[in-house]
Amino acid sequence: MADKFRFSSLPRELATLRSKDFKGYLEKWYLHDRLRAWVFSFDKQFQGYMKESFCLDFMNDNEVLSRIECMNSSGGWCRLISKAESVKVEEVPCSVLSMDFFDRLKEYNIVRESGHISKCFDEYYEGIQISDELRKMLLLEDSENYECYSEEERSEFIFRLLSHICVGGPICQFEDEMQPYLDVTKSLYKDCISVQKNSTEKKLELISKVYKITAQDDSGNTFYPANKEHDQTFAYLIVDPLKRQVILLYHSWGKGFW
């Protein structure tokens, strides 16, 4: 049996989550102090075929469990009381190098040339208010603009980040203009993802590996990132195999003030 990965906590914080420039937006979107990240180093070489064992080792490591927290049903933060018997791992594509990826929003008039987001009649999806074409495209498969991004593109990590940020928390006050969403998405993406120059073509390439994880206890019950599924409840492990560092990016839909 191969040796387990061992992890050590690092003092690094993601700049986006402590930025004074972004604090007001994160509070407005009900993400401030609810979208959290922890950074760890690990002790041996990582390769993609190891993803299941790596993620399981992470969720059972004593140092990790002494640091990370989850949101309970009352909206408070608490340490994990269970270790993971198993972990479901979804590999998340991560290949986008430019924010030009979102220029299509203007091509489909989801966002106007002025930068304002096009409005629509109110709808609700899983407790989320939809009042504009952006949220409609992100959340509703029967939206006329849903297919402006393919399923492969929608699965990209940067698309998921934008969607999580635009939808926000349960009492999110959404924006009328697109730029704040793009700015925070770009900043958070840069915080999480590592790049290097290809030695032959001298072009930048992404080296980080991203995994969406859910952990189950010995009874087969999902306990992390939460015991109830929601599109806005997630835990991503972002692995930098060169620096041997991993970021846990966590958010729970939780509950509002009432």
Per the domain annotation, does 199 fall within a domain? no
CA distances from 21 to 128, 167, 182, 215 (A): 26, 20, 14, 34
Per the domain annotation, does 203 fall within a domain? no
Per the domain annotation, does 122 fall within a domain? yes
Distance between CA atoms of 237 and 46, rounded to whole angstroms? Answer: 13
pLDDT by residue for the chain (258 residues), tens only, comes to 568 999 999 999 999 999 999 999 999 999 998 999 999 999 999 999 999 999 999 999 999 999 999 998 788 899 998 889 999 999 999 999 999 999 999 999 999 999 999 999 999 998 899 999 999 999 999 999 999 999 999 999 999 999 999 999 999 999 999 999 999 999 999 999 999 888 777 788 899 999 999 999 988 899 999 888 888 999 999 999 999 999 999 999 976 543
The pLDDT value recorded for residue 199 is: 74
Shared domain check, 212 and 225: yes
The pLDDT value recorded for residue 126 is: 85
Q: Which two tokens stand for residue 85?
A: 């018997």
Instruction: Examine the fold and report which residue of 192, 221, 243 is the final residue of a domain before the chain moves on.
Output: 192
The pLDDT value recorded for residue 2 is: 66
The pLDDT value recorded for residue 127 is: 83
Distance between CA atoms of 134 and 136, rounded to whole angstroms? Answer: 5
Per the domain annotation, does 30 fall within a domain? no
Tell me the backbone φ, ψ of residue 133, rounded to 5 degrees: -70, -25
Structurally, how many domains does the chain consist of?
Answer: 2
| Torsion-angle region of 220 (φ positive above 0: left; ψ -120 to 50: alpha; else: beta) | left
Q: Does residue 204 contact residue 97 with C-beta atoms inside 8 Å?
A: yes
Tell me the backbone φ, ψ of residue 174, rounded to 5 degrees: -80, 165
Per the domain annotation, does 202 fall within a domain? no
Shared domain check, 233 and 181: no
Please give the model's pTM, rounded to 2 decimal places. 0.95
Per the domain annotation, does 84 fall within a domain? yes
Q: Whole domain around residue 74: which residue ranges? A: 7-20+35-94+208-251
Per the domain annotation, does 26 fall within a domain? no
Per the domain annotation, does 197 fall within a domain? no
Shared domain check, 121 and 83: no
Shared domain check, 188 and 141: yes
